[in-house]
């Protein structure tokens, strides 16, 4: 185990105390930036609530007993979304991989979707645009 300077070399070793210290500093910086933006009113609380509001809501969820119900609804929504996506993607992928005409028909559409999604982060908006 080396010093903190040696940890910046490729594949350098770092002491567990340094790992904990760096992780704590990173957490403190992120929490400070979050508090700075929300408590000064720079960001609307609807989009990013203050850390104090998050802690208060977490305490309320645990004390009122609605936490498990809320988590189960969230897990259901995530799994339903995954299953819907898989139900669409698997047959479509098999058709594209098996049949050359289907591949030719959708190849450029998927390439454009990939480029737009990466460049602008508009993937959901782009999908909604073509669905309407």
Encode pLDDT of 34-83 as tens digits.
Answer: 999 998 988 888 889 999 999 998 898 889 888 888 899 999 999 999 99
Question: Between 123 and 31, where is the model more confident?
Answer: 31
Identify the pLDDT of residue 27.
95
Cβ pair 55, 63 in contact under 8 A = no
Look at the block and give the residue holding tokens 């009122």.
64
Phi, then psi, of 91 in degrees rounded to 5:
-65, -40
CA distances from 121 to 44, 81, 88 (A): 22, 19, 22
Averaged pLDDT for residues 99-114: 80
Q: How far apart are CA 52 and CA 63, in angstroms?
A: 16
Predicted confidence (pLDDT) at residue 85 exceeds the cutoff of 60: yes
pLDDT at 92 over 90: no
What was the pLDDT predicted at 110?
Answer: 77
pTM beyond 0.85: no
**The pLDDT value given to residue 127:** 57
Check whether 6 has a pLDDT greater than 80.
no
Q: What are the domain boundaries of the chain?
A: 1-64, 65-98, 100-132
Tokens 């073509």 — which residue? 130
In whole angstroms, what is the distance from residue 70 CA to residue 64 CA? 12
End-to-end CA distance of the chain: 59
């Amino acid at each position: 185990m080396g010093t903190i300077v040696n940890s910046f070399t490729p594949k350098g070793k770092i002491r567990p105390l340094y790992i904990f210290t760096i992780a704590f500093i990173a957490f403190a910086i992120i929490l400070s930036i979050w508090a700075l933006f929300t408590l000064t009113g720079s960001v609307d609380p609807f989009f990013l609530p203050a850390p104090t509001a998050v802690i208060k809501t977490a305490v309320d969820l645990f004390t009122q007993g609605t936490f498990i119900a809320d988590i189960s609804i969230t897990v259901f929504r995530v799994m339903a979304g995954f299953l819907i996506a898989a139900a669409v993607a698997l047959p479509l992928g098999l058709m594209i991989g098996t049949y050359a005409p289907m591949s030719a028909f959708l190849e450029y559409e998927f390439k454009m979707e990939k480029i737009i999604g990466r460049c602008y982060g508009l993937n959901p908006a782009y999908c909604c645009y073509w669905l309407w």
